[in-house]
Chain A
Amino acid sequence: MTAVIETQDMPVGHQGPPLLSVRGVKTYYGNIIALKGVDVDVHPGEIVTLIGANGAGKSTLMMTIFGSPQARTGTVTFDGRDITRMPTHEIARLRIAQSPEGRRIFPRMTVLENLQMGASLDNLRYFDEDVERMFTLFPRLKERAAQRGGTLSGGEQQMLAIARALMARPRLLMLDEPSLGLAPLIVKQIFDAIRDLNRNEGLTVFLVEQNAFHALKLAHRGYVMVNGLVTMSGTGKELLANPEVRAAYLEGGHH
């Protein structure tokens, strides 16, 4: 790795109140504590990434924000509204969209039908327009429009999962490990698409990743999670340069 890394500059809206705010969240699976008091902020227009090793609690935090499981203590606020105890589908209706871990596309439904499901909230009002946008963003999906979700390759499924989430016209897009199991070229395509969406449309993105190098390069800010606690935070640039982060997550060649 070289010292010259092209990272993101801070977006304009950073100074205002956060869009998503996680405060002192503790989450349990039965009696086992998974999150031990986590604070995370996402400001409008930002790409924020959460990196960490396997089992650190990254996905749990994402699921907790989405209300399944719910936080036992602490609060999750979205746009000034307390969503800690809301059921998942109502949280989604506030226009927080999610591409969950393992993609979870609908395998027997066609690509187009998957996109249709993503547009459920608006009852397909902007459907045609949004489908065109998704096909411009991911041209591969256009070729596969009539194909079943289950027959797509891993990368195409990931694109579909993101596109499906975007169909809801979200104010916050949450992505759980979009690079998992994908070839580097595809990862680059997907991350480029996220960057474009953020730059051109001001989309706010919360990205959970194990692929720390790419994630920190893409993100304006990042959090590092270890054993259910956020141990470090800073701009993408700072974290990339941080020797501890480098030792734990970057050395060993992701790039």
Chain B
Amino acid sequence: MSAEMERPVAGPNYAAAARDAVLAGVIALGVFGPLIGFKTEQNMNNQLVVENRWGIVIVIVAIVVIGRFLLKAFVFPALVTRKANAGPASTDESFFKRNFKTIGLAFLLLYPVIIVSMLGYQQSIKWVDNFGIQILIYVMLGWGLNIVVGLAGLLDLGYVAFYAVGAYSYALLSSHFGFSFWLLLPLSGILAAMWGVILGFPVLRLRGDYLAIVTLAFGEIIRLVLINWREVTNGSAGISSIPKVDIFGWITFNVADPTYIGKILDLPPSSAYYKIFLYYLILALALFTAFVTLRLRRLPIGRAWEALREDEVACRSLGINTTNTKLTAFALGAMFGGFAGSFFAARQGFVSPESFVFLESAVIVAIVVLGGMGSMVGVAIAAAAMIGGTEILRELSFLKAVFGPEFNPDQFRMLIFGLAMVTIMVWKPRGFVGNREPTAFLHEKKSVSGSLVQEGHG
């Protein structure tokens, strides 16, 4: 930022803002003109024909020009004055902010009820399934990975491998042996934890970049094994017709069964019940993850994880066995990944290696980093924003009115995703919740903003 902008200005400087806006517009034209303005289309004779899309370019450039003008003329001066006027940080937080966790939890518990009462059972499926369950799976994965990355500071880029282990454990054992979900849920967690330890041993001595590369490779190895070990995993075709979860055999969700929930509760058949049940199941699993993590943070092992993230050498000289500490972090993180995986398999009814590509690992890591390493609430918000955000893009069909009938907002998902990540990392380099809640207190709770700590030391 230039020096003149730091100085509080009396009024907005429109001329400068206009100059700046025109410049931004020219740059935007230069960038988006070739990128968006031309499109090649195949015609009937298999020839590529260049099509012009100047309309969209003009719209985008206009947005940039107006946006830049508004920023320069109003937003920046306002920020400067606010900074100048801001006294010592105000202590009175709003009611909403203070009770954020309680409100959030109540909302999560009531969410299906709200949706069903607003839209009815049939219409609620999309909102409970695509938004609720989908987001909560990622919240759980984020919280699981948070143990490894956020608390223990071990950058794991292959977390999806444990998700896959959990999913395939449930898929294979339930379809071949008919074991129930409630038996396989802990079992797949244990299997995933075992793989976590197997991965943990060779990487004990690695840190940072090297650890990231090896874990990334591990994720790929698991996926390639799933593709190529056809006799067991059925290769790329995957495993289908995985049995549904039931409520301990008392209530089932198959219309044909005599114990079908609709028959028991005297309701018309609908697939919405199963979705709502799954929603509460994943909510319970996610909350269990959160509960365990919060508990562990206050125990010696949790403190050892955090100390390990900060300084491994110091840990050892304080008598902490760093080998065990790392392995438990890997194992526990993997276990929650395994739980989420077996839930995923039960929910989809179908698993294939397609679901466990590197992009999934990247998304989960992004959720943890965006949320603020180690912060549970932050990770939940990040998961909601990233997963919910990309789901919402599917709903924005009204944009077709602006950009023409061929406009498909879904195609811009990754673009917007990337843009959002860059913006958030610039705006909040430590993620949504950069504050770390201390676990030891003298008299009263007090958390210090991460921004007060030297960069790279947090």
Residues of A within 8 A of B (CB): 66, 68, 87-90, 92-93, 97-98, 100, 104-110, 112-113, 115-118, 120-121, 123, 145-148, 150-151, 164, 168
Whole-angstrom distance between the alpha carbons of A12 and B34 in the complex? Answer: 86
A107 in contact with B316 (CB, 8 Å): no
* B321 interface hit (Cβ, 8 Å): yes
Contact B458–A117 (Cβ < 8 Å): no
Q: A92-B319, A106-B310 are in contact. Are A150 and B439 (CB under 8 A)?
A: no
Q: Contact check, B458 vs A100: say whether CB atoms are below 8 A apart.
A: no
A187 to B300, CA, bound (A): 33
Q: Known A66-B317, A89-B319, A148-B448; judge A104-B311 contact (CB<8 A).
A: yes
Q: B303 at the A/B interface (Cβ < 8 Å)?
A: yes
Residues of B within 8 A of A68 (CB): 313, 316
Q: Could you tell me if B438 and A113 are in contact, using CB atoms closer than 8 angstroms?
A: yes
A147 to B313 Cα, complex, angstroms:
22
Q: In this assembly, does B452 line the interface, its C-beta being within 8 Å of a C-beta of chain A?
A: yes
Residues of chain B contacted by A89 (CB below 8 angstroms)? 315-322
Known: A107-B457, A120-B319. Contact between A148 and B442, CB under 8 A? no
Contact A120 B317 (CB under 8 A): no
Say yes or no: A107 contacts B446, CB within 8 Å. no
Q: When the two chains form their complex, are residues A150 and B306 in contact, meaning their CB atoms are under 8 A apart? A: no
Complex CA gap A89/B320 in Å reads 6
Cβ contacts under 8 Å, A150 to chain B: 453-454, 457-458
- State A55–B309 Cα separation when bound (angstroms): 29
| In the complex, residue of chain B having the shortest beta-carbon distance to the beta carbon of A164 | B318
Contacts A90-B319, A107-B457, A112-B440 known; list 11 others, CB within 8 Å: A68-B316, A88-B316, A88-B317, A89-B318, A104-B317, A106-B314, A109-B307, A109-B310, A120-B320, A150-B457, A151-B448
CB within 8 Å: A-B pair count:
105
Report which of B317, B441, B452 forms a contact with A151, defined as CB distance below 8 A.
Answer: B452
Q: Chain B contacts of A87 at CB under 8 A?
A: 316, 321
Instruction: Show 12 A/B contacts (Cβ-Cβ < 8 Å), sorted by A.
Output: A89-B318, A97-B317, A98-B317, A100-B314, A106-B310, A110-B448, A117-B307, A120-B300, A146-B441, A146-B446, A146-B448, A168-B318
B263 contacts A by Cβ under 8 Å: no
| B211: chain A residues within 8 A (beta carbon) | none
Q: Please report B residues at the A interface, Cβ cutoff 8 Å.
A: 300, 303-304, 306-307, 309-311, 313-322, 436, 438-442, 446, 448, 450, 452-454, 457-458
Chain B residue numbers with a CB within 8 Å of A121 are 318-319
- CA separation between A143 and B313, bound complex, in Å? 27
CB-based contact B300/A113 at 8 Å: no
Of listed B304, B316, B320, B322, residue having the most chain A CB within 10 A: B316
Which of B309, B320, B440, B452 has most A Cβ within 10 Å? B440
Taking a contact as CB atoms closer than 8 A, the residue among A108, A164, A168 that contacts B458 in the complex is A108
Query: Considering residues B316, B319, B450, which has the most beta carbons from chain A within 10 angstroms of its beta carbon?
Result: B319
Alpha-carbon separation in the docked complex, A107 to B320 (Å): 18
User: Contacts of A107 on B, CB cut-off 8 Å?
Assistant: 310, 453-454, 457-458
B317 to chain A, nearest CB (A): 5
* B303 and A112 form a contact (CB under 8 A): no
Return the chain B residue nearest A92 by Cβ. Answer: B319
Question: How far is the CB of A138 from the nearest CB of chain B, in Å?
Answer: 15
Residues from chain A with a CB closer than 8 A to the CB of B439 are 113, 116
Q: Is the CB of A112 within 8 A of B311?
A: no
| Minimum CB–CB distance for B322 against chain A, Å | 7
Contact of B318 among A120, A147, A148 (CB under 8 A): A120
* B313 & A104 in contact (Cβ 8 Å cutoff): yes
B446 near A113: Cβ-Cβ < 8 Å:
no
B319 touches A168 (CB 8 A): yes
A66 to B313, CA, bound (A): 11
Q: Given A107-B457, A109-B307, A151-B448, decide whether A116 and B313 contact each other with a Cβ distance below 8 A.
A: no
Most chain B C-beta atoms within 10 Å of own C-beta, residue among A89, A92, A98, A100: A89
- CB–CB A112/B300 < 8 A: no
* Complex contact A100–B317 (CB within 8 A): yes
Q: Are B314 and A108 in contact (CB under 8 A)?
A: no
Contact A92–B316 (Cβ < 8 Å): yes
Q: Is the CB of B310 within 8 A of A100?
A: no
Chain B nearest Cβ from A151, distance in angstroms: 5
| Contact across chains for A148 and B452 when beta carbons are under 8 A apart | yes
A146 near B442 with CB under 8 A, answer yes
Closest residue of B by beta carbon distance from A99: B317
Partner of A108, one of B318, B441, B453: B453
Check B440 against A93 for contact (C-beta < 8 Å). no
User: What separation, in Å, do the CA atoms of A89 and B307 have in the docked complex?
Assistant: 14
Cβ of A110 and Cβ of B458 under 8 Å apart? no
A100 touches B303 (CB 8 A): no
Chain A residues contacting B314 (CB-CB under 8 Å) are 100, 104-106
Which residues on the B side are within 8 Å of A112 (C-beta)?
438, 440-442
Instruction: Give complex CA distance A237, B219 in Å.
Output: 63
With contacts A107-B458, A123-B300, A147-B448 taken as known, whether A118 is within 8 angstroms of B440 at the C-beta atoms is no
Residue of A100, A118, A145, A146 most packed against chain B (CB within 10 A): A146
Minimum CB–CB distance for B154 against chain A, Å: 16
Q: How far is the CB of B245 from chain A (nearest CB, A)?
A: 40
User: Would you call B319 and A100 a contact (CB within 8 A)?
Assistant: no
Q: Would you call A145 and B307 a contact (CB within 8 A)?
A: no
Q: How far is the CA of A148 from the CA of B457 in the complex (A)?
A: 11
Measured between C-beta atoms, what is the minimum distance from B391 to chain A in Å?
Answer: 34
Docked Cα-Cα span, A88 to B446, in Å, equals 34
Residue from B320, B436, B438, B453 with most neighbouring chain A CB atoms (10 Å):
B438
Assembled-state Cα–Cα distance A145/B320 (Å): 23
Contact residues in B for A93 (Cβ distance below 8 Å): 319
Whether the Cβ atoms of A106 and B317 lie closer than 8 Å is: no
Pairwise interchain contact B306-A109, C-beta atoms closer than 8 A: yes
When chains A and B are docked, how far (Å) is the Cα of A87 from the Cα of B313?
Answer: 12
